Amino acid sequence: MSIFTGAGVALITPMHEDGSVNYEEMERIVNDQILNGTDAIIVCGTTGEASTMTHEEHIETIKACVDMTKKRVPVIAGTGSNCTATAAYLSKEAQNAGADGVLVVSPYYNKATQAGLKKHFTEIAKAIDIPVILYNIPGRTGVNIQPKTIADMVAEVENIIGVKEASGDLSQVAELLSLTQGEIDVYSGNDDQIVPIVALGGKGVISVLSHVAPKDTHDMVIKLIEGDVEGSRNLQLKYIPLITALFSEVNPIPVKAAMELMGFQAGPLRMPLTRMEEAHKQVLRQAMIDAGVKVIG
């Protein structure tokens, strides 16, 4: 029931200057990503600024992405919420829109116990028929989905099939893969941990770096899976300075700046996020150049 192997881009949502979604530029970015080897499109996640979208915009953006992609690669829709009913509703709408799977973040702000997390994710998964990838990012949500909790859900709920792991804790990832014995698809949620997570048995990455280096991010995963350890490691290490620059301010501020530097019309961010500080932008620009990314701006 795996959705993809390799690198899925955590897609930005390009905006017009008035803050509305720029669907024309979004299609240009989607086509560029697919042309350059991206294995999946993840729409309306953290990088896509879904938290500042209305429900109507959220659903419309998912539908638009499905239409743009034209089944060339899978589309995974971010449908998480700190309200279980809302997450279930958005997940059903994503399925109706033609998404191949959903990415569901753990409840933020109100948090939950491990028992509450199990009930939350199980209820969402049972509301739909398409695969569910959990999203563990305690730095944003304030709660960690523990390995045993994930392993239990994978064993008990047929369409909970994977996790985007952004805890930064490689020991936790190893424990999870040990508990599940290959019965889960683990994707790195951190671009600086692609190689170690794939080496442990992960399926790939849900990536911000893919915006600026789609082919190399794909290759980083596939080379390792095919046994080219040195080639994969060299790519990981090559991009560490650029990855650092892409997270020098809160995501997606730097990646939108990077896309602008590459000639895409990423547009503004929705408040409370603001455009990248000029000093950080210059560091980002140089890191892009050093990594061989073509900079226009």
Dig out the tokens for 96 from the structure.
């109706």
For this structure, is 135 an active site residue?
Answer: yes
Give which of 143, 187, 196, 138 is closest to 167, Cα–Cα: 138
For this structure, is 71 an active site residue?
Answer: no
Q: What are phi and psi of 87, to 5 degrees?
A: -65, -40
CA distance 50 to 296: 28
- Tell me the C-alpha to C-alpha distance, in Å, between residue 190 and each of 10, 64, 204: 11, 27, 11
Of the residues 135, 223, 239, 256, which is catalytic?
A: 135
Q: Which long-range contacts (CB under 8 A, 24 or more apart) does 89-95 make?
A: 89/55, 90/55, 90/58, 90/59, 91/124, 91/127, 91/128, 91/132, 92/127, 92/128, 93/59, 93/62, 94/59, 94/62, 94/128, 94/130, 95/128, 95/129, 95/130
Residues in the chain, total: 297
Of the residues 118, 164, 203, 223, which is catalytic?
A: 164
- Residues noted as catalytic: 135, 164
